[in-house]
Copies of this chain bind each other. A is one copy, B any other.
Amino acid sequence: MPGVASPAEFAYTLDIPTRWKDNDVYGHVNNVEYYSYFDTVINTFLIREGGLDIHRGPVIGLCVESHCRYDGPISFPERVVAGLAVDRLGNSSVRYAVSLFRVDDGARVDDGARGAADPDGGAPTPAAEGWFVHVFVDRETRRPTPVPEGIRAALLRLAR
């Protein structure tokens, strides 16, 4: 299906269990929380794979644009697998693609690994697809700065 991602396209995945308070009054995870899942997979990757020091590092990543298309409901207490890829890597910015898959739809939980393709060829379709742009800036001046080398090397591994 064109334009729909399968977990195998994402070189980094993260298991994100939902929480009680993610559900809103209509009984499903609120649209706002999807962006929290985006933030979580992105920063987990940057910290663990790229060496980002969110507490004291001289360079930090600020979100300048984000987008999400909601394709199906997610509800607590389900588990979500977030798949992360890089669509564009510039001098000081990066545009990530993030898709959210439901474990109940067959997504595999295997943090950090490439999302496994279903052996039957039937990969789950995402519950949501989005993108997110980080600009890396100096922590003090908040001016754009080149992506640090350790982070750049990690991000290059997510290119698709």
Residues of A in contact with B (beta carbons under 8 Å apart) = 15-17, 19-21, 23-27, 30-33, 35-37, 39-40, 42-44, 47-48, 54-55, 60, 62-70, 73, 76-77, 139, 142
Contact = CB atoms under 8 A, between A and B. Distances in A.
Contact of A30 (B31, B33, B39, B42): B39
Most buried by B among A24, A54, A142: A24
A32 B31 CA distance: 10
Contacts of A67: 65-68
Given A16-B17, A21-B30, 11 more contacts: A15-B17, A23-B54, A25-B27, A26-B62, A31-B63, A32-B32, A64-B69, A64-B70, A65-B69, A66-B67, A66-B70
A70 B60 contact: no
Contacts of A60: 26
The binding surface of chain A is classed by DSSP as mixed
A16 B17 CA distance: 7
Given A30-B39, A31-B63, A36-B32, A23 B24 contact: yes
Most buried by B among A15, A27, A139: A27
Nearest to A28: B62
